[in-house]
Amino acid sequence: MDRRRNPFVPGAGLQPPELVGRGRLIENAAIDMDRVLAGRPARGLVLLGLRGVGKTVLLNRLRALADDKGFRTVRIEAPEGSSLPELLTPELRRILYALDLRRAAGRRLQRAASVLVNFARAFRVSAGDLELSVDLAPGEGDTGNLEQDLPRLLVAMAEAAADRHTAVGLFIDEVQYLSSVELAAVIVACHEIAQRNLPFLFIGAGLPQVAALAGKAKSYAERLLDYPQVGSLEHSDARLALVKPARAEGVAFDDAAVDEILAAAQNFPYFIQEWGYQVWNAAPASPVTRGMVLDASPEVVTHLDNNFFRVRFDRLTPLEQKYLRAMAELGPGPCATGRIAETLGVRTASVATVRQRLVNKGMVWSQRHGETAFTVPMFDAFMKRQMPELVRHVPQARRTENSGGLQ
């Protein structure tokens, strides 16, 4: 069918034609935002879910909602290996200008600007022209200890926002890539702001392990933040995600075609978009039948393998790949960590560092102690396609392993 009119949008963070199944979550967040704007306390949230469930599009949707409601918002994505002050400083500077720093800046706004300059200097980041235009207040946000300085800075920003009768919204994607110090600093900041009842809301998104990481960073994080789960879609919503955008373009999917696609996609948003997109392009005409889906199927799987799964696979060392292949042998669900080692033919301790690297890379996580699960849906089946043979692991000298000799 006409590719120009294909409504499906497989990709990271691309707003789907129909954002289904998230109404309750959006409504709850909207209520939190209204409370904050009305000067009432609200807990921050961190959206948790596997790869491709729609955390980023939801985070962006919530940010747009906050903007519409009059929040001043900052959105950053924590990339692996970059620093939080570097990402935050230019964004907070933008907010200060948006709060109308130039026009008759109030005392609190001036103070926020000077704390930001101090903060930027302490973390060796540029605050641009702000450095020239503020009177510095030494001793505020300039210790170089992020857990002290970030709360100071965000408190000052929220106070400035309160003066301007607005609120600050901090949106952070990929929270699992924050370092433990950065995550602790964000949590302490939320805690201090909550105690002062200032107009501020933190909304994060990340892989499911973030809840445990936050608890580890600060034990009170569990009570300070909510962790709504973002998962695969209810069957009726998944159906809607496929059928409604097509219908808007005058295209129908037979029920059997829909069932076939949803079974393959296991109701996961990203896979629905990808199947919808590829089947649309391959199908000769409307209505789309089950036969057309089956005809397109091998190509869709190849496409997914060469793109979505492959980019993740290519970031792994051979040893990490072997580890995941052993996991795949045990099926799609969480498995006992000890069984993975057993499958590889080694003791658990000898592959503990490999496992930890896979956690750090966001490939696996553990819901319960002693368990390991994939963060990418259907990665087990991909691993079996990619590496049909299960290879047992023969550990070499420890020194070689740590220096990457096995990689």
- Enumerate binding residues for ligand ATP (CB under 6 A): 9-14, 16, 19-22, 49, 51-57, 241, 269-270, 273
Instruction: Output the smallest distance, CB 57 to Mg ion, in A.
Output: 8
Residue 389 in tokens: 């043979």
| Closest residue by beta carbon to Mg ion | 56
> Which residue type, as a one-letter code, is found at position 197?
N
Cα(298)–Cα(263) distance, rounded to whole angstroms? 15
Q: Which residue number, 96 or 243, has a Cβ lying nearer to ligand ATP?
A: 243
Q: How many residues bind Mg ion (CB under 5 A)?
A: 1
Instruction: Output the smallest distance, CB 11 to Mg ion, in A.
Output: 10
Q: Which residue number, 53 or 188, has a Cβ lying nearer to ligand ATP?
A: 53
Q: Which does 21 bind (CB under 5 to 8 A by kind): Mg ion, ligand ATP, none?
A: ligand ATP
For residues 114 and 137, is the Cβ–Cβ distance under 8 A?
A: yes
Q: Which residue number, 11 or 215, has a Cβ lying nearer to ligand ATP?
A: 11
Binding to Mg ion (CB under 5 A) within 46-65 occurs at: 56
Cα(401)–Cα(407) distance, rounded to whole angstroms? 8
| Closest residue by beta carbon to ligand ATP | 54
Q: Which does 52 bind (CB under 5 to 8 A by kind): ligand ATP, Mg ion, none?
A: ligand ATP
Q: Which does 370 bind (CB under 5 to 8 A by kind): ligand ATP, Mg ion, none?
A: none
Cα(344)–Cα(328) distance, rounded to whole angstroms? 11
Q: Which does 241 bind (CB under 5 to 8 A by kind): Mg ion, ligand ATP, none?
A: ligand ATP
For residues 229 and 49, is the Cβ–Cβ distance under 8 A?
A: yes
Tokens 């919503």: give the residue: 237
User: CA–CA distance from 63 to each of 100, 173, 181 (Å)?
Assistant: 21, 11, 25
Q: Which residue number, 19 or 381, has a Cβ lying nearer to ligand ATP?
A: 19
Cα(43)–Cα(95) distance, rounded to whole angstroms? 22
Beta bridge partners of 48: 206, 229
Cα(207)–Cα(210) distance, rounded to whole angstroms? 6
Q: Which residue number, 160 or 207, has a Cβ lying nearer to ligand ATP?
A: 207
